[in-house]
Structure 1
């Protein structure tokens, strides 16, 4: 990283703009906007092509000509036909299914652009894959033992790994957790490893949307201080769609404790836009780790693959209320549907679910259609259209699904970063600045 940083410092911006101005361009609006904005380039990392095109359209610039394809053996080839030297390049790529292929495509695109002489490279990752793999002690250990294990190993760990060596505190730990030598197998902290790969590839900055887990700041900390991570919030865009419903006694529900902050944002946003007093509730999973493992085993062997909701407990009253469940991710939809069933049994009048990232793995779409949820709202951070025919048919047949675009937010973030502007209003949702809905009640 040292030589790269020095080369960036030695580059004079006047030279860059002179180079751009010297290029032969037509008088078309798109190319004129490109020159006016300076050396700004946007390209796709192989997936999210439609999303990248939408972002570029909002910026008024073309998508750079970068050819990404796969060989017969699965290897990825990247070729850039765009002038990159001296440019401020934004590579757009969600690291979603196929996750590992998307990550490799992003890494190779970044290295190709770095070798082509780009002045600055920003990875725009609307959905950051492996964000849920942030490490931690095994869940079946008691908290006191876990703290001792983590504290005793911090000085010995290689970056991105957890390796628990023999400790007196482990003697009473269950054999299902530890091996015959009293050790736990090494596990990667995958989110940290992805961060290291991006930095080594030459990325200067990362922009993402509603980074998971919400509000913890763990993934941002996996990057070194010289690589800032900017997380923009989708709350304002989501509320525009959510508040198209005229709620009766609205209650915002956090499906787990991590989403309480997000639930409060929606609570204040609905009150501001519709002028209606809005309640808040949370669903807790009171099951022990042993019960959770048993439930997971039962779910894996169950033909329907549904989650048991016996251990779920609702804190709050939703009887006769319109309920809005807010979460960060819908993956298999098992957890979401289990919570929806609990809310329906508790008397919810209508159930709307919002999640930023829609992975829709396996039978997720079928589960959502068969669940008590009346409407599912999500964004376009993940491309769910390019899968097999069965999935495409399920997507086209989904009656409850509504998708909103965060491309305008991402485009604004890119424009502000390129112009050294502030992203404060994109990072933090302020309900007091939200435009109230004209049909709100007093």
Structure 2
């Protein structure tokens, strides 16, 4: 049962998801003013008593990334100064996650910097979904509950009428994730080798796996310009695939992505609502992670395990 000391506060990044989480948990959204001054400075005021409460702050660091991140830090500080007993930063989409290593001279490890900022602001724990790299959990000196969107995506994908299914990763780095889906769906497995020319231009060079006359499911954790999945899909289509689906947890779609999806061979893009998604009339299916996050919030509040949230019914 949910305790009476649970408070959920939302920033401005994904208010609909916060409302859906509150509806599932069975608590009203805590009244808070989260706005900006005319010069752009963020301002937060919690309008209810949270002294001694278990506070969950819901905020994705999606565009505008820096504004939403600063807003979250100020929300944490406001809750800490209001004497909250415990503060959990619920970050459905963790921005800066791709800057998780020093792969060039004189560049930052910004994913670690963000972890330091969250901790210094006063967060006691973090709840996130599908971090770009699992080792980001190690950047924190506070507990991190790293949820996977896999059960949400699998529930929908398993009900599709897929024939001769092959699960493919659009790049070598995602093979482990694709393998997990392939084992659950009892399908074939493959991947696409790619060459990145710039942040927005990707070339798919070769395929490992047989896709002729098969339905193909491309699996990735995030997309912004849809360059990787569309390049992979075009090459897969040329190899004789029947239909192509793509499942992506975080759809941080930019204008270029919509143009590519409009002209590309992907029959359906399946995404979650960790980031607000405008389908623009395209075949984009948006699945909600509100139940997943809501159940995790209830369990954290009750000091229960969240391990079972990683399991899929029947496995």
The answer on 1:259 being equivalent to 2:225 is no
Kept in 1: contact 2:170–2:193 (CA 8 A): yes
The equivalent residue for 2:298 is 415
The equivalent residue for 1:22 is none
The answer on 1:65 being equivalent to 2:31 is yes
Kept in 1: contact 2:102–2:108 (CA 8 A): no
The equivalent residue for 1:95 is 61
Corresponding residue to 1:205 among 125, 144, 154? 125
Cα distance per residue 1:1-41 (max 9 Å; x no partner): xxxxxxxxxxxxxxxxxxxxxxxxxxxxxxxx9xx622000
The equivalent residue for 1:364 is 257
Cα distance per residue 1:332-391 (max 9 Å; x no partner): 101111000010011111000000000002321121121010000000000235xxxxxx
2:33 partner SS: strand
Corresponding residue to 2:189 among 259, 273, 280? 280
Cα distance per residue 1:233-275 (max 9 Å; x no partner): 111111122123211100000112222222122112223xxxx
Say which structure, 1 or 2, has more relative contact order (CA 8 Å, 6+ apart). Answer: 2
Q: What is the TM-score when the length of structure 2 is the normalising length?
A: 0.96
The equivalent residue for 1:275 is none
Relative to its length, the structure with more helix (as a share) is 1
Corresponding residue to 1:222 among 121, 132, 139? 139
Task: State which drifts further: 262-271 or 96-105.
Answer: 262-271
The equivalent residue for 2:153 is 238
The equivalent residue for 1:173 is none
The answer on 1:323 being equivalent to 2:216 is yes
Corresponding residue to 1:383 among 273, 276, 295? 276
Q: Work out the CA distance in 2 between the residues paired with 1:60 and 1:102.
A: 26
The equivalent residue for 1:53 is 19
Cα distance per residue 1:375-419 (max 9 Å; x no partner): 00000000235xxxxxxxxx3322x11000010000000001111
1:188 partner SS: coil
Q: Work out the CA distance in 1 between the residues paired with 2:214 and 2:9.
A: 45
The answer on 1:396 being equivalent to 2:280 is yes
Relative to its length, the structure with more strand (as a share) is 2
Q: Judging changes above 3 Å, is the alpha-carbon distance between structure 1 residues 384 and 375 closer, same or farther for their aligned structure 2 residues?
A: closer
Q: Work out the CA distance in 2 between the residues paired with 1:112 and 1:125.
A: 17
Kept in 2: contact 1:46–1:106 (CA 8 A): no
Kept in 2: contact 1:269–1:431 (CA 8 A): no
The two structures, once aligned, show a CA RMSD in angstroms of: 1.6
Q: Unaligned regions of 5+ residues in structure 1, if any?
A: 1-32, 139-183, 272-277, 386-394, 434-442
Kept in 2: contact 1:265–1:431 (CA 8 A): no
Q: Work out the CA distance in 2 between the residues paired with 1:313 and 1:431.
A: 35
Kept in 1: contact 2:21–2:293 (CA 8 A): yes
Cα distance per residue 1:36-84 (max 9 Å; x no partner): 6220000112221110010000000000011111111111111110111
The equivalent residue for 1:105 is 71
2:202 partner SS: coil
The equivalent residue for 1:121 is 87
Kept in 2: contact 1:322–1:349 (CA 8 A): yes
Kept in 1: contact 2:132–2:221 (CA 8 A): yes
Q: Work out the CA distance in 2 between the residues paired with 1:255 and 1:396.
A: 24
Q: Work out the CA distance in 1 between the residues paired with 2:185 and 2:263.
A: 27
Q: Work out the CA distance in 2 between the residues paired with 1:218 and 1:76.
A: 31
1:79 partner SS: strand
Q: Work out the CA distance in 2 between the residues paired with 1:266 and 1:397.
A: 28
Q: Work out the CA distance in 2 between the residues paired with 1:187 and 1:308.
A: 25
Corresponding residue to 1:406 among 283, 286, 289? 289
1:187 partner SS: coil
Q: Judging changes above 3 Å, is the alpha-carbon distance between structure 1 residues 188 and 99 closer, same or farther for their aligned structure 2 residues?
A: same
Kept in 2: contact 1:235–1:265 (CA 8 A): no
